[in-house]
């Protein structure tokens, strides 16, 4: 029986699970917002909030504990020097989970996990950069159209298989 075990296994062994959450912590510290599945985000929230709370101490001991857990020096440096001072007056709850649509392939619940003070980068349109922004917007719309077409293809394939199963 699994009494008083509060972490999820995700169907993978301990070492791979540890590596997964090290990578997720590195990613969220680096970009401050990542897209992942809801169960992974809920488990990641435990790890990142404990790391920020430990980073608030800003002592050598805290840095060494964080380095033992997350071996990336850049991640630990950003945790202690950037993120911890930002949340110094906040007692907890440094992240939020924003749910998104389900992933088309396996229908997994997707979400963004981000820091509560995260601001989306504003796109500035200067006179010289207008052409580049227009090209980026066109590329984004093309990729959005490709995603819609792929979703439509998946829906068609699923409906065809349902029709075959009925007959």
pLDDT averaged over the chain?
86
Identify the weakest region by mean pLDDT among 43-52, 55-64, 101-110, 144-153: 144-153
Give the model's pLDDT for residue 137: 61
Between CA 152 and CA 32 the distance in angstroms is 32
Element (H, E) at 25: helix 14-31
**CATH architecture of the domain covering 1-121:** Alpha-Beta Complex (3.90)
Is the pLDDT reported for residue 117 higher than 70?
Answer: yes
Is the pLDDT reported for residue 144 higher than 90?
Answer: no
Domain boundaries along the sequence of the chain:
1-121, 123-167
Model confidence at 146, pLDDT cuts 50, 70, 90, reads low
Query: 79-100, pLDDT tens digit by residue?
Result: 999 999 999 999 999 999 999 9
Between CA 6 and CA 154 the distance in angstroms is 36
Between CA 18 and CA 140 the distance in angstroms is 35
Give the model's pLDDT for residue 110: 96
Give the model's pLDDT for residue 129: 54
Is the pLDDT reported for residue 15 higher than 60?
Answer: yes
The position carrying tokens 């229908």 is 107
Average pLDDT estimate for 73-78: 96
Give the model's pLDDT for residue 134: 62
Give the model's pLDDT for residue 145: 64
Give the model's pLDDT for residue 111: 96
Q: Which of 63, 93, 92 is nearest to 80 (CA)?
A: 63
Give the model's pLDDT for residue 161: 72
Other CB atoms within 10 A of residue 40 CB: 18
Phi, psi of 7 (to 5 degrees): -110, 150
Query: 103-112, pLDDT tens digit by residue?
Result: 999 999 999 9
Which residues, in sequence order, are CB contacts of 69 under 8 Å at separation 6+? 22, 51
Give the model's pLDDT for residue 101: 94
DSSP state of 88: T
The position carrying tokens 């077409």 is 149
Q: Which of 30, 22, 24, 85 is nearest to 52 (CA)?
A: 85
Average pLDDT estimate for 132-146: 60
């Amino acid at each position: 029986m699994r009494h008083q075990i509060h972490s999820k296994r995700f169907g993978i062994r301990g070492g791979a699970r540890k590596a997964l959450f090290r990578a997720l912590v590195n990613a969220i510290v680096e970009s401050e917002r990542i897209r992942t599945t809801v169960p992974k985000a809920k488990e990641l929230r435990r790890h990142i909030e404990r790391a920020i709370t430990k980073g608030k101490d800003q002592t050598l001991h805290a840095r060494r504990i964080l380095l033992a857990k997350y071996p990336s020096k850049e991640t630990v440096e950003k945790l202690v020097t950037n993120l911890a001072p930002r949340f110094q007056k906040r007692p907890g709850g440094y992240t939020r989970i924003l749910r998104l649509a389900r992933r088309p392939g396996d229908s997994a619940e997707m979400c963004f996990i981000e820091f509560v003070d995260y601001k989306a980068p504003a796109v500035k349109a200067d006179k010289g950069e207008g052409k580049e922004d227009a090209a980026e917007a066109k590329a984004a719309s093309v990729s959005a159209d490709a995603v819609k077409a792929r979703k439509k293809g998946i829906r068609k394939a699923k409906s065809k298989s349902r029709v075959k199963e009925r007959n």
